[in-house]
Structure 1
């Protein structure tokens, strides 16, 4: 990539940057952003002023007369050890432009915490959304979750783990649907038991060494009747572990009579599966808008 930019004429590079900035400005105009809102009280003993915050992106024009706009809570990836909501402003802007209130969150990262604490952070962000999203034009009765990579695994836990939500102020699961963008971590129990890929030891940093924790943080073992609907978007060139666990998740949903739309996007590897959300009219947005009723 570096060589590519070095070979580009300076004028062409500047023109490309100007076009990208102009595109982002046009996308931003129909939306407003409320930035760095704390979803954990500052008085909480574990409060992290950098990680316990979220951004809300709302359409500027008035919403529906009743209820408000549908809401999508987006959880970033990064192998449970990296990532930031600030990288994904384009997702918030694109969703708001299309009549959706977007909530893009941070959560604490390993090694400072482990996945159970990260899932708890996501549940706290969801509880904040239920309690506060109406003032940003969103409908608290129409909240959906979405995640890429590790964020997909965390989003799946929000849709399936009612006990997790109950521990954080949500006696009823408010999630109305889950959008999985090349999700990782749906079945870390099987993955970490096998340890068949080079570098798999790195995932013991966020998940620890206890197989009971691996299973407890794997949404595939929480599938049950009455869950919200799932939608899968899988890269045709993604990692076998992601396509394999996503396929098994879909099959378990089918076994309880809950079909899950499963779209394989040819030629896409793992990272491009989230980068394509820069473009408003890609297939993920098109299908998402149908699911949320935007």
Structure 2
């Protein structure tokens, strides 16, 4: 009898972990809760403001100006592998910053709502990781309106395929390749992580459902089709079962940006995806990026551990 009760207790604990915990996460944090307004009921002006991160953070321009200066200086001092072409268009280029042989590699995909910025502007991201002995690959990709969402995603996937086939060129460890991206780069992170070279994914403040963007100010250059919305929304995808995915968002971000991350995290929790979700208190859409390059930051510390091959569980 005691043996039966012991086995029954173990089974119930497993059932709670596998079935009830994801359900509780969805109930507490999904878009079904009262925490986030329903975007379907917003007028277009309200929805536009709900995705206008630079308007919400007036100091963002000054922050980026400082980062771009840092990026330019870092690229100038680490010019061995710059603008490596991986595809046919002029923006399909990589910057590869090599730290050491046999080191893990961080692949970073920049943000800018698929229509602004470049890999060059984000080279400041690489500095603390190279210092820590991590190789860093910065991904450039074509931008709207010259490129459609279909072309942007395809180019980003080609970039990861290039890493897959050429990682030995910089003697990187093919078993420790982590992809991360910020904002629209978080979306593209989710779109490229099916490549078998990827050992973990860390999207930051990403867009995981493209539907709210249709008709928005962002869509003036994207011209999203319904097919693209369906095909390239990570909310509609099933990621590789064993791939750890670590989702971060700032607690001071716009409600729609937070909802996007909460909803995607709820979906992955329901799939029992390894990894986890963390909302960082008081971080906005830009200071969360600062957390990634701060050796004391939670994102930085998470990335270092994941790049070292450690298995983590993020707890919200």
TM-score, normalising length: structure 2 = 0.70
User: Could you list the per-position Cα deviations for residues 96-133 of structure 1 after superposition, in whole angstroms to 9, with x for gaps in the alignment?
Assistant: 11121110011000000111111111111111111112
1:102 pairs with one of 119, 136, 142: 136
- Report whether the alignment pairs 1:54 with 2:94: yes
Structure-1 residue corresponding to 2:209: 187
Question: 2: distance between equivalents of 1:28 and 1:177?
Answer: 30
Contact 1:235 1:270 in 2 (8 A): yes
Higher relative contact order (CA 8 A, sep 6+): 2
CA, structure 1 residues 255+269, in 2 after alignment: closer, same or farther (shift >3 Å)?
same
CA, structure 1 residues 117+77, in 2 after alignment: closer, same or farther (shift >3 Å)?
same
Give the RMSD, CA atoms, in angstroms: 2.7
The structure richer in strand per residue is 1
Contact 2:248 2:261 in 1 (8 A): no
Shift of 1:224: 4.7
Higher Cα Rg, which structure:
2
Equivalences for residues 19-58 of structure 1 within 5 A: 33-40=80-87, 47-49=88-90, 51-58=91-98
Q: Which runs of 5+ in 1 are unaligned?
A: 6-16, 41-46, 161-171
List, as ranges, runs of 4+ consecutive aligned residues in structure 1 with deviation greater than 6 Å. none
Shift of 1:291: 1.1
Contact 2:113 2:218 in 1 (8 A): no
CA, structure 1 residues 101+278, in 2 after alignment: closer, same or farther (shift >3 Å)?
same
Question: 2: distance between equivalents of 1:251 and 1:220?
Answer: 10
1:281 pairs with one of 296, 301, 315: 296
Shift of 1:223: 1.9
Q: Which runs of 5+ in 2 are unaligned?
A: 1-57, 310-316
TM-score, normalising length: structure 1 = 0.74
2:120 pairs with one of 73, 79, 86: 86
Q: Aligned residue pairs: how many?
A: 243
CA, structure 1 residues 204+218, in 2 after alignment: closer, same or farther (shift >3 Å)?
farther
User: Could you list the per-position Cα deviations for residues 165-185 of structure 1 after superposition, in whole angstroms to 9, with x for gaps in the alignment?
Assistant: xxxxxxx6321111111112x
- Report whether the alignment pairs 1:140 with 2:174: yes
**3-state SS in 2 of match to 1:273:** helix
Contact 1:207 1:213 in 2 (8 A): no
Question: 1: distance between equivalents of 2:173 and 2:148?
Answer: 32
1:202 pairs with one of 192, 215, 218: 218
2:230 pairs with one of 207, 210, 215: 215
User: Could you list the per-position Cα deviations for residues 41-70 of structure 1 after superposition, in whole angstroms to 9, with x for gaps in the alignment?
Assistant: xxxxxx233x111100111xx43xxxx111
Question: 2: distance between equivalents of 1:82 and 1:137?
Answer: 32
